[in-house]
């Protein structure tokens, strides 16, 4: 079917357009020698960390590829292509992260320099820099899926590609999250609370490490996270589309046995086109609102996608119910974004009330933020529940198997606009860095104010992206659970279910429920451990370097030492939590069997969504409560309320930037591990 080429062609267009935007950003002035010096330090630190991280992960990738090739490719006769597909997925994910980070460390200084001429000059540089990340993610992901599928014709091998992308994303998000919060917590607690100096004061030894962390955590790490969910949602629907019932339906109605297998690829390709159109239309006036511009860009992209997908479904003869399921997922994504905006935005009552509670100290600030975080879980979970049920019932009437296919298609709908979503997410750390560069370079107060306005919108954009990513991961793993069931039924020839009255299913579910809190504890304890070292080093430098505290001319802190502490700690700590996630999944499968593993996946999904939403939203709220005070309210910077809010924000940092977003990837990786190894587990499980 000629329309099936929509996916690879759109993917190539996305990559080409991202290259164009890269050169656009790079053509802008990088400012003064001091600005370029700061930017270069951030760039070198980010590159060095990614190089060390990817070198360490390469060993794991090669070992896992050999295991997959021997255990599944040869022993289970799935084809030796499974190992190379896994490596290919890992490489594509790593390249997307590197490209996004590379443009981010160039866009930050150029955004700061352009801010001298006004907000409307700085905004397009930051946003288009973020768009390079967004389009790289969707372009490389969809191109990789298309290459594997069109070369092999087997969705099971695309599953190997997805597993590679997910495993890389889990390590990248955990490692980047530990790095960025090690530096951020250390810089804030000593700089703001103990020393009473501004956030990005050049006297603070941890300030460059903090700026580096924004790039390796929020750009490369978050990009890898959404790369992972994007690929997993598509491959889940492809596997469901290749089921016997749907194959037969496609053969009868469309004359093409692969019709419903390739449909998610076409929808993803149209999503890229919609995202490019949306990115091109994002504008902000001289006194415009950057947050409003980002939101309207997302809404416009959604409308374009709904129109394009309707036309494809109508004219190619697919069932309109499938388009309805995609639209439901897209609407659910918007609802989750609006909810996240309400609970985290600096302009909304939850953040302001939490800021007001800071006047009584850090304890009430933390209680308030945590409580609003708990409340914020209900609307997104309700949205995911309604979206999955609606998608199921919309498609269930078509024929056997179409109900769960509809659930998967709703996830594809939510994730089809990932190009636009990641563009907004990567915009956040770019403007955060630009504000830091402006302060460290001693630029005028009006420039710092403009950078602050850009940064406030960036914080909300990052929070919305995290909420969107969690919701998308929820729908994706539900589709992956159905895909796991389909793979097991093909392998065993028997229908299986996951009845909670079955003791094996119940045991698996209870173990699964415990995994997200265990993973969260491990990565946050890692942040605490590394932040302790960072705090001690920052204190030591202020104590031992003469004239540093006073800001004496010519006296500089040892930035490199703090960068090294963050990098070494992150690389040391990222492996245990990530490997446990994979190891426990395999242990439950081989010891408890396919039913226990099904219960385990269900428990992990529900627990993971709860913890991810709580931590992402509470963390974003604490951050903006602090920024509300820093804008001059309730005593402003240096006040007792400000110090209490900084402590709340410090608690929230590993919530929103380490554990919370990493859980999306963790539950996706577990689901993919189960699906990839399902034939082996079905054959050799003890129970």
Question: Each residue of 142-186: pLDDT tens digit?
Answer: 999 999 998 888 888 898 999 999 888 888 888 888 988 888 888
Q: What is the mean pLDDT of residues 194-221?
A: 84
Question: Taking 70 as the threshold, does the pLDDT of residue 245 lie above it?
Answer: no
Query: Please, how many CA atoms are within 13 Å of residue 181, restricted to the half-sphere of its CB?
Result: 30
- Asked if 297 and 281 touch (Cβ cutoff 8 Å), the reply is yes
* pLDDT per position as a tens digit, 418-451: 898 888 888 888 988 898 898 888 888 888 888 8
* pLDDT per position as a tens digit, 561-604: 998 999 888 888 888 888 899 999 999 999 999 999 999 999 99
Q: What percent of the chain has pLDDT over 90?
A: 45
| Confidence at residue 162, expressed as pLDDT on a 0 to 100 scale | 92
Tally Cβ neighbours within 10 Å of residue 445: 8
Query: Considering the chain, what is the average pLDDT of its residues?
Result: 88
* pLDDT per position as a tens digit, 130-140: 999 999 999 99
Question: Taking 60 as the threshold, does the pLDDT of residue 101 lie above it?
Answer: yes
* pLDDT per position as a tens digit, 599-642: 999 999 999 999 999 998 999 899 889 989 988 899 998 899 99
Lowest average pLDDT, out of 199-203, 527-531, 563-567, 654-658, goes to: 199-203
Confidence bin at 288 (pLDDT 50/70/90): confident
| Confidence at residue 131, expressed as pLDDT on a 0 to 100 scale | 93
**At a CB cut-off of 8 Å and minimum separation 6, what does 666 contact?**
170, 515, 516, 519, 581, 604, 608
Question: Taking 70 as the threshold, does the pLDDT of residue 95 lie above it?
Answer: yes
3-state secondary structure string across 25-91: HHCCCCCCHHHHHHHHHHHHHHHHHHHHHHHHHHHHHHHHHHHHHHHHHHCCCCCCCHHHHHHHHHH
Tally Cβ neighbours within 10 Å of residue 454: 27
Q: What is the mean pLDDT of residues 109-115?
A: 93
C-alpha 12: how far from chain center: 22
What's the CA gap between 118 and 286, in Å, rounded?
7
| Confidence at residue 474, expressed as pLDDT on a 0 to 100 scale | 84
* pLDDT per position as a tens digit, 658-682: 898 889 889 999 999 999 999 999 9
Residue with tokens 């100096």: 197
| Confidence at residue 515, expressed as pLDDT on a 0 to 100 scale | 97
Q: What percent of the chain has pLDDT over 70?
A: 96
| Confidence at residue 257, expressed as pLDDT on a 0 to 100 scale | 47
- Asked if 480 and 568 touch (Cβ cutoff 8 Å), the reply is no
Count of residues making up the chain: 687
Cα angle vertex 650, ends 521, 612, to 5°? 45
Q: What is the mean pLDDT of residues 391-411?
A: 90
Confidence bin at 253 (pLDDT 50/70/90): low
Helix, strand or coil for residue 235?
helix
| Confidence at residue 316, expressed as pLDDT on a 0 to 100 scale | 86
What's the CA gap between 441 and 459, in Å, rounded?
22
Closest CA to 89 of 23, 29, 158, 139: 158
Residue ranges with strand state E in 313-397: none
State the pTM of this model. 0.90
Closest CA to 468 of 240, 254, 302: 302
| Confidence at residue 368, expressed as pLDDT on a 0 to 100 scale | 96
* pLDDT per position as a tens digit, 212-223: 888 888 787 777
Q: What is the mean pLDDT of residues 340-360?
A: 91
Give the tokens for residue 442: 């001693």
* pLDDT per position as a tens digit, 60-86: 999 999 999 998 888 887 778 899 999
| Confidence at residue 251, expressed as pLDDT on a 0 to 100 scale | 57
Whole-number Cα distances in Å, 235 to 238, 311, 345, 483, 484: 5, 23, 34, 9, 12
Whole-number Cα distances in Å, 339 to 313, 323, 356, 421: 30, 25, 21, 16
| Confidence at residue 272, expressed as pLDDT on a 0 to 100 scale | 95
| Confidence at residue 599, expressed as pLDDT on a 0 to 100 scale | 96
Question: Taking 60 as the threshold, does the pLDDT of residue 1 lie above it?
Answer: no
Confidence bin at 554 (pLDDT 50/70/90): confident
| Confidence at residue 13, expressed as pLDDT on a 0 to 100 scale | 96
Lowest average pLDDT, out of 2-6, 337-341, 538-542, 633-637, goes to: 2-6
């Amino acid at each position: 079917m000629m329309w099936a080429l929509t996916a690879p062609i759109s993917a190539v267009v996305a990559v080409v357009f991202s290259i164009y935007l890269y050169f656009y950003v790079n053509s802008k002035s990088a400012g003064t020698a001091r600005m370029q010096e700061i930017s270069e330090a951030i760039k070198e630190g980010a590159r060095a960390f990614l190089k060390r991280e990817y070198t360490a992960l390469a060993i794991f990738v090669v070992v896992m590829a050999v295991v997959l090739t021997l255990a599944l490719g040869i022993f289970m006769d799935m084809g030796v292509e499974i190992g190379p597909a896994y490596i290919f997925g890992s490489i594509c994910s790593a390249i997307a992260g590197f490209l996004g980070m590379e443009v981010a460390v160039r866009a930050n200084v150029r955004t700061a320099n352009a801010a001298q001429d006004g907000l409307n000059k700085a905004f397009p540089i930051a946003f288009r820099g973020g768009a390079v990340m967004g389009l790289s993610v969707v372009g490389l992901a969809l191109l990789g899926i298309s290459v594997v599928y069109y070369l092999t014709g087997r969705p099971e091998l695309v599953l190997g590609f997805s597993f590679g992308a997910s495993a890389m994303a889990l390590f990248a998000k955990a490692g980047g999250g530990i790095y960025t919060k090690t530096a951020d917590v250390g810089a804030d607690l000593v700089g703001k609370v103990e020393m009473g100096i501004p956030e990005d004061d050049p006297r603070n030894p941890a300030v460059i490490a903090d700026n580096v962390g924004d790039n390796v955590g929020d750009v490369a790490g978050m990009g890898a996270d959404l790369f992972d969910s994007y690929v997993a949602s598509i491959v889940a629907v492809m596997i469901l589309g290749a089921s016997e019932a749907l194959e037969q339906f496609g053969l009868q109605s469309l004359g093409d046995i692969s019709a419903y297998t390739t449909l998610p690829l076409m929808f993803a390709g149209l999503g890229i086109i919609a995202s490019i159109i949306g990115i091109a239309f994002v504008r902000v006036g001289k006194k415009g609102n950057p947050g409003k511009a980002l939101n309207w860009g997302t809404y416009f992209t959604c409308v374009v996608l709904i129109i394009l997908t309707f036309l494809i479904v109508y004219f190619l003869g697919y069932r309109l119910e499938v388009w309805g399921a995609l639209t439901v997922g897209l609407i659910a994504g918007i609802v989750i974004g609006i909810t996240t905006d309400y609970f985290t935005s600096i302009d909304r009552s939850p953040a302001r009330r939490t800021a007001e509670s800071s006047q009584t100290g850090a304890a009430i600030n933390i209680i308030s933020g945590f409580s609003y975080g708990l409340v914020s879980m209900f609307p997104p979970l309700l949205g995911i529940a309604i979206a999955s049920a609606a998608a199921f019932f919309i498609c269930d009437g078509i024929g056997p198997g179409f109900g769960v296919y509809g659930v998967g298609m709703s996830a594809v709908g939510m994730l089809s606009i990932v190009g636009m979503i990641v563009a907004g997410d990567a915009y956040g750390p770019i403007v955060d860095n630009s504000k830091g560069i402006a302060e460290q370079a001693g630029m005028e107060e009006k420039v710092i104010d403009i950078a602050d306005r850009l940064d406030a919108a960036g914080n909300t954009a990052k929070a919305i992206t995290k909420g969107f990513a969690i919701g998308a991961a929820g729908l994706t793993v539900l589709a992956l659970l159905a895909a796991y069931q389909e793979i097991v039924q093909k392998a065993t020839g028997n229908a299986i279910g996951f009845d909670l009255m079955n003791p094996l299913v119940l045991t698996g579910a209870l173990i699964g429920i415990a995994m997200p809190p265990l993973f969260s504890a491990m990565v946050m304890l890692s942040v605490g451990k590394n932040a302790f070292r960072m705090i001690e080093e920052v204190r030591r430098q202020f104590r031992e370097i003469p004239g540093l505290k006073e800001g004496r001319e010519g006296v500089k802190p040892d930035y490199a030492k703090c960068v090294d502490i963050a990098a070494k700690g992150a690389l040391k700590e990222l492996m245990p939590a990530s490997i446990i996630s994979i190891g426990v999944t395999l242990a439950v499968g081989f010891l408890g069997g396919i039913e226990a593993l099904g219960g385990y996946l269900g428990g992990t999904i529900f627990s993971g969504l709860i913890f991810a939403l709580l931590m992402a939203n509470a963390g974003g709220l604490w951050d903006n409560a602090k920024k509300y005070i820093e804008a001059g309210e309730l005593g402003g910077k240096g006040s007792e309320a400000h110090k209490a809010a900084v402590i709340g924000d410090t608690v929230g940092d590993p919530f929103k930037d380490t554990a919370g977003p990493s859980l999306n990837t963790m539950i996706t990786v577990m689901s993919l591990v189960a699906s990839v190894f399902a034939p082996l587990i079905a054959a050799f499980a003890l129970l």
